[in-house]
């Protein structure tokens, strides 16, 4: 071990240097240095560095040892990109950005458990939702886990992090969350009435198909006329639409969410009539715009044949939500997925069993679907008792 005095602006410090064992990544030896106010302090700091390298196999590569969270996260995203769908990649990039906002430029080895906890706490103070904080934490946790596997750090600062918890109010406790996740029959009737009165072009087809087939929005927007079998009255689900920015010419057709999502959905004469009418209207539109028409066989399109984006459908539904609130006092938050849960309710009331419902929806494991199914069946039991009493009550009170 060699020592030397180093002159700084504020005075002298001691620097200790020694050759380290072979780097586990490069196989090369490097000289390691550490500084201290005194010679013993510099020696102790250097010994600690050498201990970490020998005991935990940490890399001595300067580029690796000084890698920032931002660079590590980018390397992690690139490494895992080939194993995930673009939609999942975008989601991870979003959460990396949210988390990295606070520690992007800090070297990974300098991020302590306390520093990590500070990020979680600050995200909470900055008003991020609980779901966003939890999702960002899950991504960051995986990034630090990768850093351990790459011999950059010996332990993860994410371990033991304390997540914020939502303090429930009386209103939260009394609110039926399951009931908020779908529209009951009378609410669906009102919603479709609002669609009829205030609809924009294609609203009728969009929201009726979502409610009466249970398709995901991406599945509906990816549908082509070749996926509709009028002779057997079935819709073939084999793909989904991805267009995160909403730009019409930047859409992508991806494989469905899971293997179970590949399925066929049966439809009745009413949906058949709606689809045929929709096709006639689209053909007229196609003739008017034949010089600019995007010939790709999509069912739900813009005026020039390009498919609509999921974001576009969300905005349309939020527009209808205003009328539902001000004209009918229905305060449920509307989003396209609520119609998927509504379809679960409709199938349950129609007598379908849970297995058949999950097959139709393309689910393998869905807590919300089970919750809605259970909620509706319990309500049906209560309604049955009331109907029985209404018809035969006089026999009880004879």
The 10s digit of each residue's pLDDT in 264-278 is 999 999 999 999 999
- pLDDT of amino acid 60: 44
The mean-pLDDT minimum among 105-109, 144-148, 276-280, 376-380 falls in 376-380
- pTM for the whole thing? 0.69
Residue 20, pLDDT above cutoff 90: no
pLDDT mean over 335-355: 91
Per-residue pLDDT tens over the stretch 150-162:
888 888 999 999 9
- pLDDT of amino acid 89: 83
Confidence of residue 56 (pLDDT cuts 50, 70, 90): very low
Per-residue pLDDT tens over the stretch 174-218:
455 677 888 999 999 999 999 999 998 899 999 999 999 999 999
Residue 57, pLDDT above cutoff 50: no
The mean-pLDDT minimum among 39-53, 108-122, 183-197 falls in 39-53
Q: Return the top range by mean pLDDT from 28-32, 82-86, 225-229.
A: 225-229
- pLDDT of amino acid 396: 60
Q: Which residues contact 115 (CB under 8 A, 6 or more apart)?
A: 103, 106, 157
pLDDT mean over 88-96: 87
- pLDDT of amino acid 174: 47
Confidence of residue 397 (pLDDT cuts 50, 70, 90): low
Confidence of residue 394 (pLDDT cuts 50, 70, 90): low
Residue 351, pLDDT above cutoff 60: yes
């Amino acid at each position: 071990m060699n020592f030397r005095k180093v002159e700084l602006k504020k005075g002298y410090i001691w620097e200790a240097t020694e050759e380290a064992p072979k780097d586990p990544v490069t196989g090369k030896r490097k000289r390691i240095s550490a500084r201290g106010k005194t010679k013993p302090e510099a020696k102790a700091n250097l010994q600690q560095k050498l201990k970490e390298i020998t005991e935990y196999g940490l890399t001595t590569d300067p580029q690796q040892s000084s890698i920032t969270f931002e660079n590590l996260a980018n390397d992690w995203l690139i490494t895992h990109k080939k194993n995930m769908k673009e939609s999942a990649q975008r989601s991870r990039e979003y959460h990396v950005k949210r988390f990295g906002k606070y520690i992007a430029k800090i070297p990974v080895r300098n991020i302590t458990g306390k520093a990590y906890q500070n990020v979680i706490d600050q995200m909470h103070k900055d008003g991020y939702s609980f779901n966003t904080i939890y999702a960002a934490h899950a991504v960051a946790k995986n990034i630090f886990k990768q850093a351990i596997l790459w011999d950059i750090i010996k332990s993860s600062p994410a371990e033991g992090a304390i997540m914020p918890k939502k303090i429930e109010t009386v209103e939260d406790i009394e609110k039926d969350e399951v009931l908020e996740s779908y529209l009951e029959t009378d609410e669906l009737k009102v919603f479709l009435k609002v669609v009829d009165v205030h609809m924009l072009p294609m609203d009728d087809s969009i929201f009726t198909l979502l409610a009466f087939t249970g398709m995901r929005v991406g599945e509906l927007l990816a549908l082509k006329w070749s996926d509709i079998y009028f002779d057997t009255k079935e819709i073939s689900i084999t793909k989904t639409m991805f267009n995160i920015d909403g730009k019409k010419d930047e859409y992508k057709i991806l494989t469905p969410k899971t293997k179970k999502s590949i399925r066929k959905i049966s439809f009745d004469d009413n949906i058949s009539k709606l689809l045929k009418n929709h096709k006639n209207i689209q053909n007229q539109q196609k003739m008017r715009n034949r010089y600019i028409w995007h010939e790709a066989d999509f069912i739900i399109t813009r005026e020039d044949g390009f498919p609509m984006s999921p974001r576009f459908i969300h905005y349309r539904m939020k527009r209808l939500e205003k009328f539902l609130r001000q004209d009918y006092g229905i305060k449920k938050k509307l989003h396209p997925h609520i119609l998927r849960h509504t379809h679960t309710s409709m199938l349950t009331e129609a007598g379908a069993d849970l297995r058949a419902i999950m097959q139709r929806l393309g689910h393998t494991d869905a807590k919300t679907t089970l919750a809605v199914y259970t909620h509706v069946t319990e309500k049906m039991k209560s309604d049955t008792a009331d109907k029985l009493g209404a018809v035969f009550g006089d026999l009880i009170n004879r």
